[in-house]
Amino acid sequence: MDLKNLYREIVNDHNLNPQHKGEMTDPDMELRGVNPSCGDDIFLQLKFDGDKISDAMFKGSGCAISQASVDMMIDNIIGLSKDEALKQSALFHSMINGEVTDEEELEELDEAYYLKDVCHMPARVKCALLGWRTLKEMLG
């Protein structure tokens, strides 16, 4: 997908109308994630039911790719166990770093899969990874 279609079809929706943006009053875990060089800044909160992520929210500011990527990530990880979420974060990292390209293997990333082409835009890699990197730090 070229860049313009990526924005048009996927990123804009999550950036302008994020489903998971806001703040919880009683999170079990929270962590700030920052890309200091470009100013992308998020605050990620997780709520657990036993080992399962029962809810997640974020707030923050930054470029559309960084914000949309977090929103998509939260779509995916609600309902997953810690290990499953970590595994998915590792898969997303591998995709963005261009290490995994097999479509079938990447299927579980759902909509986040469409950020695959960011691996061809070195300057934007860290934007796409911000949420996933923060998640990995929290759970890892």
Partner 1 sequence: MKNVNEIRADFPLINEKTVYFDNAATTQRPAAVTAAIKEFYDNYNANPLRGLYDLSSLATEMYGKARAACAAFINAKCAREIIFTRNTTESINLAAYSLGELLINEGDNIVISVSEHHSNLLPWQRVAKQKKANLVFMEPDMTGLLSLDEIKSKIDLKTKIVSIGHVSNVWGRTNPIKEIVEAAHKVGAVVVVDGAQAAPHMKVDVRELDVDLYAFSGHKMLGPMGIGCLYGKLDLLDKMPPFLMGGEMIEYVTRTDATFAEIPHKFEAGTVNAADAYALNTAIGYINEIGFDYIENHEKQLTARVMEGLSKNPYVTVYGSPDPEEHCGIVTFNLEGVHPHDLASVLNDDGICIRAGHHCAQPLMQFMGVGSTARLSLYLYNTDEEVDFFLEKLSKVRNLMGYGS
Q: How many CA atoms lie within 13 A of 121 on its CB side?
A: 16
- Per CB under 8 A, 87 contacts partner 1: no
- State the nearest-atom distance from the C-beta of 65 to partner 1, in Å: 7
- Per CB under 8 A, 19 contacts partner 1: no
Give the binding-site size for partner 1 (rule: CB under 8 A). 21
Closer Cβ to partner 1, 66 or 134, answer by number = 66
d(CA 13, CA 107): 20
- Per CB under 8 A, 97 contacts partner 1: no
**Which residues of this protein are in contact with partner 1, per CB under 8 A?**
2-4, 7-8, 12-13, 15-16, 37-39, 61-65, 121, 123-124, 127
